[in-house]
Amino acid sequence: MHPAALAALEQRLAQARAAHALRRRSPRAGTALRPTLDGRPIVNFASNDYLGLAADPRVVEAYAQGAARYGVGAGAAELVSGHTEAHAELEAALARFTGRPRALVLSTGYMANLSVVTTLASRRSAVIEDRLNHASLLDAAVLSRARLVRYQHLDTDDLAAKLAACPGALVATDGVFSMDGDVAPLPRLVEVCKAEGGTLILDDAHGFGVLGARGRGTTEHFGLAAPDVPIVVGTFGKAFGGAGAFVAADEVVIEALMQFARPYIYTTALPPALCCAMTVSLRIVEGEPALRQRLHSNIHRFRRLALARGVPMAASNTPIQPIILGQNARVVAVAERLLEMGYWVAAVRPPTVPAGSARLRVALSAGHTEEEIDGLSDALAACL
């Protein structure tokens, strides 16, 4: 590497270090919710395993049986020879689950958003997005070469004004926002898009499995019909307990993604064994509402206890409970103290969140016990 380029990288790293913004990985052993770090048991409140399915024996067994049947990897991109019966079965189940004609499985949520936006937008069009959308949606708009327009967070009047100036634009929003835990005002977004001719794309990665009586996400939560939200993106790495993603839409959109979406075309297919596991996860998500009830009971318990102990809680009724402290150094220090006490909570800092809004991101799961939630509430009160 050229010395000047290397020096520039070293300077960026030094600046991030000085700002307490360096991210570090902690190699864990064990399952998502109750791992060990350096041989010490930890309760994980930094995981998106919202229903505790990552270690569910039925899902694990489906993965093992799938690996025995198909092997470890798909061996090729889907359009070459990587598409298996396991992929087809999962896609059919997802189409039924979302109430849409077709679904397409992809390897990551980032790839799914990139595929949708870059296929549907071009340098002659515009993409209008909530300012706090996930990075994958924002990056997708930039990479599509379309004009990216951002509206104020959850401000549908601002969206309406911007869409009126860009008729026919794509409108993209998270369903549940990943760092704040708040929910998009989807009924009003649908109204604005219908009135102004926008095409709505919903990234419901943190909504599927969590919201709605049958876990169908933000659209079900608000009682909307599938045609109201023509394109939805979901991931398997949250409530489904696995990895990978999907897009559900009408026939034309899915066929266009298969033919033109470069992230889909040029990536090895999701392992078929994982598709087997996610098909079982989907059945559990849809067929066992008691898991969601337990999750929401845990959310309410945590909020009640934390607020009673003076913990500065944001207004969120989803598993994502941000505790905004503002300063990077303070967030890091509190997260390290919590880890010493046996609780793993993510210290989220810019650029993942806006400057000055560094936070602890507590992620709750149906798999957490009341005792674990009570313990975290006590630990937070002691640290803040």
Q: Write the pLDDT tens digit of every residue in 203-225.
A: 999 999 999 999 999 999 999 99
pLDDT of residue 20: 87
Query: Average pLDDT for residues 268-292, to the nearest whole number?
Result: 97
Does the structure show a pLDDT above 90 at 30?
Answer: no
Ordered structural domains, the chain, with CATH: 25-55+289-383 (3.90.1150.10), 57-287 (3.40.640.10)
Give first-to-last CA distance, the chain, whole Å.
44
Query: Average pLDDT for residues 22-39, to the nearest whole number?
Result: 88
Output the average pLDDT for the chain.
Answer: 95
Q: Which helix (H) or strand (E) holds 361?
A: strand 358-363
Report the distance separating Cα 321 and Cα 106, nearest Å: 28
Site of tokens 């206890």? 305
Cite the DSSP H helix spans in 99-172: 109-120, 135-144, 156-164
Does the structure show a pLDDT above 90 at 182?
Answer: yes
Site of tokens 């033109």? 260
pLDDT of residue 23: 87
Report the distance separating Cα 58 and Cα 62, nearest Å: 6
Query: Average pLDDT for residues 131-155, to the nearest whole number?
Result: 96
pLDDT of residue 135: 96
Residue 124: burial class (beta carbons within 10 Å; 0-12, 13-18, 19+): exposed
CB-based contact 166:156 (threshold 8 Å): no
Structure tokens at 255: 């066929």
- Residues annotated as catalytic are 178, 206, 238
* Residues facing residue 268 across a β-bridge: 77
pLDDT of residue 272: 98
Q: If we measure between CA atoms, which residue out of 48, 31, 89 comes closest to residue 208?
A: 48
User: Helix crossing, 370-383 with 289-308: angle to 10°?
Assistant: 30
Phi first, then psi: give them for residue 171, nearest 5 degrees. -120, 120
Output the CA–CA distances (angstroms, integers) from residue 326 to 234, 334, 348, 358, in the order listed.
30, 12, 10, 5
Does the structure show a pLDDT above 90 at 31?
Answer: no
CB-based contact 63:40 (threshold 8 Å): no
CB-based contact 138:127 (threshold 8 Å): no
Q: Beta-strand (E) ranges in 280-334?
A: 320-326
Structure tokens at 123: 């340098």
Does the structure show a pLDDT above 90 at 1?
Answer: no
* Percent of the residues in the chain that have a pLDDT greater than 70, as a whole number: 100
Q: Beta-strand (E) ranges in 10-60?
A: 29-30, 35-37, 40-41, 43-44
Query: Average pLDDT for residues 115-135, to the nearest whole number?
Result: 96
pLDDT in tens, 221-262: 999 999 999 999 999 999 999 999 999 999 999 999 999 999
Query: Average pLDDT for residues 46-65, to the nearest whole number?
Result: 97
CB-based contact 253:261 (threshold 8 Å): no
Structure tokens at 170: 């794509």
Confidence of residue 38 (pLDDT cuts 50, 70, 90): confident
Q: Is the pTM of this model over 0.85?
A: yes
Report the distance separating Cα 135 and Cα 129, nearest Å: 11
pLDDT in tens, 63-77: 999 999 999 999 999
pLDDT of residue 261: 97
Query: Average pLDDT for residues 155-161, to the nearest whole number?
Result: 97
